[in-house]
Structure 1
Amino acid sequence: MIIGTHMVVASKDPEADHKFFREILGLNSVDAGGGYTIFGLPPSDASIHKTDGDVPHHELYFLSDDIDGFKASLAEKNIECGDVQDTGWGRLVKLTLPSGAPLQVYQPRHERP
């Protein structure tokens, strides 16, 4: 039985991304040993979309209940992100982790499962 999700972020600068997850996103963490940190995440959902490319891939989005407030909190911490985009299925901001990896946060319009 599925009890949750486990996400792996491949990073060229894990220490900087760990700090970003802790200090900027406010996620709690535990030391899993062996140099691994596990971050607690709020409830999640998943969807499957048809890809037009040759190689299937995964995308990472965090969900927000107040995208404007989230964007303002980033600005207070001197973190740059793109403008809020209206996608039809939600309102989205894109930002970049310290390692250069993309991160997207959106406020969904759809119901949560």
Structure 2
Amino acid sequence: MISGAHVIVYSQDAEKDRAFIRDVLGFPGVDAGGGWLVFKLPPAEVAVHPTDGPPRHEFYLMCDDLDAQLDEFRAQGVEVTRPVSEQRWGRLTAVRLPSGAELPLYQPLHPVAHSL
């Protein structure tokens, strides 16, 4: 039986991005040994989209109130890297991780499966 999913975010400054996940996002975690932090994620879901190009994977964080979440991030000095765009499936933006990478964030307007 599948008991969970493990997401890996590759980073050019893993230590700073781990601190962001711990301190800014507030995700609890465990030290898997030698400082390798593994964080508990909120409930999750997976979708499979068709593509004409090579297969790829994406990682988004979901929130119930995008505007309130962005206000909270800005108050903590987090850079919002994209203006909020209104998609038919949700409201989309991204924030900057300390490594310089973007972390997409959206407020879904579609039915969600993570609480089934």
Taking structure 2 as the reference length, the TM-score comes to: 0.89
Check conservation: 1:92, 1:106, Cα contact below 8 A. Answer: yes
Regions of 4+ moved over 3 Å: none
Which residue does 1:71 correspond to in 2? 70
Cα offset, 1:60, TM superposition = 0.7
Check conservation: 1:24, 1:77, Cα contact below 8 A. Answer: yes
RMSD: 1.2
Check conservation: 1:71, 1:93, Cα contact below 8 A. Answer: no
Cα offset, 1:72, TM superposition = 0.3
SS at the partner of 1:72?
helix
SS at the partner of 2:69?
helix
SS at the partner of 1:26?
coil
Which residue does 1:58 correspond to in 2? 57
Do residues 85 (structure 1) and 85 (structure 2) align? yes
Taking structure 1 as the reference length, the TM-score comes to: 0.91
Which residue does 1:101 correspond to in 2? 101
- What is the aligned-residue identity percentage? 45
**In 2, Cα distance between the equivalents of 1:24 and 1:103?**
13
Check conservation: 2:90, 2:106, Cα contact below 8 A. Answer: yes
**In 2, Cα distance between the equivalents of 1:2 and 1:87?**
32
Do residues 28 (structure 1) and 19 (structure 2) align? no
Pairwise mapping of residues 6-45 of structure 1 onto structure 2 (< 5 A)?
6-45=6-45
**In 2, Cα distance between the equivalents of 1:3 and 1:109?**
27
**In 1, Cα distance between the equivalents of 2:85 and 2:38?**
30
Letter of the structure 1 residue corresponding to residue 8 of structure 2: V
